[in-house]
A and B are shown apart, each in its own frame.
Chain A
Amino acid sequence: MKKYILKRILIAIATLFLITFILFLMEKAMPGSPFNDEKMTHEQVQALYAKYGLDKPVLVQFWNYIKNMMMGDFGVSYSLQVNTPVTQIIAQHFPVSLTIGLLATVVGAICGFVMGIVAALKHNTMIDSLMTGISVLGVSLPNFVVALILSIIFSFQLYLLPAVYSADRPFISIILPIIALSTFTMASAERYARSEMIEIMHSDYIRLADSKGISRRQLVLKHVVRNTLISVITVLAPLMIDLIAGSMVVEKAFAIPGLGTTYISAIQANDYNVVLGITFFYAILFIGIMLFVDILYGIIDPRVRLDKG
């Protein structure tokens, strides 16, 4: 177990290091940054280089870059909110994204697993086909398509829910975004849970448990569902990461002033500090989620927990 956690942490650190390095290279390569401005004279560029420490060796520059990133110093915005520190922009826009993201994860994962389990229990029946059909639709329709369909139906036909986020009515205005965002999570979770559970139902240990003569209810709850849920934890991390990507799109579709919308605006406005800052923030978030889920799995699954080392 110790070895397992240590390995996970090492991989997380390596990943973080690699991402920082990529970001560093990107920053140097970004077109349209002040350093690549052709109108500046050589002296002006040199002065700027000195100011940002760019006259130093690359490794020193990289080290300084890492230090800055770790301290949360991502610089200031050039164009989006001129001279506002990127950290402040993130702090300002992240909460609404977090709320929607977490709710969508919970809704999507729970619905998906329940649907998958029901489908597996009713394997080869109409209910199974229905669930499978819904999940194929769910993984096939991009989030923005779902968002579009939802707003056409619920906002412009039925006038039930707003199609555009309004800070005055936060609860009612995040309902559609949450549904749009959780569709993919739900569908993937359903597919995974279903196939995993069908496999488990045909496993030898379920045959043995059944041969003990325990009731079907006990068999399903104590052995089948429990083992399905344990293995399903492994897909939580990738699902949450897909969901973060989806959140950019859904936020834009519903005009939610979250981190995703800000990210897209920054990309379109060539506001590189903001783009790189948010990218770094996302990267930390991703790595954190993966580490968390890996360790959670390690704790729950005895095969990992009790492994030597």
Chain B
Amino acid sequence: MKETILKVKNLAVSYTTYRGKVRSVRGLSFKLKKGETLALVGESGCGKSASVKPIMGEHEANQVIESGEITFTYDGPQGEETVDLLKIDDEKMQQEIKGKQIAMIFQDPMTSLDPTMKIGKQIAEAIKTSSSDLSSEELTDKVRELIDMVGIGHIDTVMNQYPHQLSGGMRQRIVIAIALSSDPSLLICDEPTTALDVTIQARILNLIKKLQRERGLSVIFITHNLGVVANVADRVNVMYAGKIIETGSSEDIFFDPRHPYTWGLLSAVPDVHDNEEKLPTINGTIPDLTKEIVGDAFAPRNPYALEIDFKEEPPMFSVNEHHEAATWLLDERAPKIEMPELLQQRIMRMRGEVYD
């Protein structure tokens, strides 16, 4: 059994806005083991980014942490330490954790590098935070090594270039190099490929996967696109309205999804085989999180909603020891409802492909 490096327990985050308090994250719990890749999946606005900001120690003026605990275990200067990232003081966060233990890759590589600083310098700056005693030659070597690691060929040219001279894919590689410069144990990827061309997306995903394996990184992978997750994640957490509504291994979620929302997400992934149909989408929009939600937050959009969904929030029902879903459909009293036929056919095909 691998050790757990990050444990989020009952995290609730809200934002005060002119419309009132937006409860973006409403009691989120998950565990991340060493070397594991965990995907957080959901539509935009479901609280994915809001739930990782506290992990990175990012405070916003209107952000309120209502409750929760984020325990992080790492090899600190004084040996193994376990801290609550919500209670840790800013200085320790900045000096020991940010960049060194937890690093992040952002959504839009076009805007995430300083436009007026050379690439080499931006990488060097990140290296220096963990190893300040390097000589300038050693530093340059390390920078070259990192650029090489992310698969960029003409290292010397790139080092002396500015971000605007590079393509989006190249920039995202540089961002990855920066993130990995201090050998972190946890990498958070916030929609790292959304802003990129489809062809480049795959390459960046493969790079992240490769580096994750080589370095035994633990990764939290945030995305709204389940298709992206399939070959990256070990475990998948599907989020809706600030909560996890289904969690399981990649296999559980892709081959045996139980929550109607997950069905909807999976059906929305384009598939070459059903070219004759238009993509099924989930109707409606995410609920207004300024209001108290009664029952299942997804019920109003759920074509399989039960009466009870409008009255009482479903608990997590266990499907097997690593697969849980929060839907009343799993209650023994519920009618037997199966996933849409289209999705069933797809899963059959996928299984076939996998086991071939």
A interface list, Cβ under 8 A from B: 124, 203-205, 207-216, 218, 222-223, 226-227, 230, 301-303, 306
A223 touches B114 (CB 8 A): yes
A-B contact pairs, 28 of them (CB 8 A): A204-B108, A204-B112, A205-B114, A207-B106, A208-B112, A208-B113, A208-B178, A209-B114, A209-B125, A210-B98, A211-B98, A211-B103, A211-B179, A212-B99, A212-B103, A212-B125, A213-B94, A213-B126, A213-B182, A222-B125, A223-B114, A227-B116, A301-B116, A302-B115, A303-B116, A303-B162, A306-B161, A306-B164
A208 touches B175 (CB 8 A): yes
Which residues from B are CB-within-8-Å of A203? 111
Which residues from A are CB-within-8-Å of B117? 222-223, 226
Interface of A is mostly: helix
Taking A124-B61, A204-B106 as contacts, is the C-beta distance between A213 and B116 under 8 angstroms? no
Residue of chain A at shortest CB distance from B104: A211
Taking A211-B99, A227-B114, A227-B116 as contacts, is the C-beta distance between A306 and B162 under 8 angstroms? yes
A122: min CB distance to chain B, Å: 12
B162 touches A205 (CB 8 A): no
A211 touches B182 (CB 8 A): no
Bound Cα distance A303, B178 (Å): 21
Interface of B is mostly: loop
Bound Cα distance A223, B163 (Å): 14
Taking A205-B111, A205-B113, A205-B114 as contacts, is the C-beta distance between A213 and B100 under 8 angstroms? yes
Q: Mark B96-132, 1 if CB is under 8 A from A, else 0.
A: 0111100110111001111111000010011011100
Residue of chain A at shortest CB distance from B94: A213
Query: Which B residues, 29 to 88, have Cβ-Cβ distances below 8 Å to chain A?
Result: 56, 58, 61
A212 touches B113 (CB 8 A): no
B17: min CB distance to chain A, Å: 15
Bound Cα distance A226, B121 (Å): 14
Q: Mark B162-181, 1 if CB is under 8 A from A, else 0.
A: 10110000000001001101
Residue of chain A at shortest CB distance from B99: A213
B336: min CB distance to chain A, Å: 47
Partner of A230, one of B113, B116, B125, B178: B116
Bound Cα distance A226, B108 (Å): 22
Bound Cα distance A78, B106 (Å): 69
B281 in the interface, Cβ–Cβ < 8 Å? no
Taking A204-B108, A302-B164 as contacts, is the C-beta distance between A215 and B94 under 8 angstroms? yes
A197: min CB distance to chain B, Å: 14
Which residues from B are CB-within-8-Å of A204? 106-108, 111-112
Residue of chain A at shortest CB distance from B107: A204
B95 in the interface, Cβ–Cβ < 8 Å? yes
Which residues from B are CB-within-8-Å of A208? 104, 106, 112-114, 175, 178
Q: Which of B94, B130, B179 has the most CB of A within 10 A?
A: B94
B249: min CB distance to chain A, Å: 29
Bound Cα distance A204, B175 (Å): 12
Q: Which of A204, A212, A222 has the most CB of B within 10 A?
A: A212
Query: Which B residues, 175 to 192, have Cβ-Cβ distances below 8 Å to chain A?
Result: 175, 178-179, 181-182
Bound Cα distance A214, B99 (Å): 8
Partner of B129, one of A207, A212, A301: A212
Which residues from A are CB-within-8-Å of B161? 306
Which residues from A are CB-within-8-Å of B100? 213
Taking A204-B106, A207-B58, A207-B106 as contacts, is the C-beta distance between A213 and B115 under 8 angstroms? no
Which residues from A are CB-within-8-Å of B94? 213-216
B148: min CB distance to chain A, Å: 20
Which residues from B are CB-within-8-Å of A209? 114, 122, 125
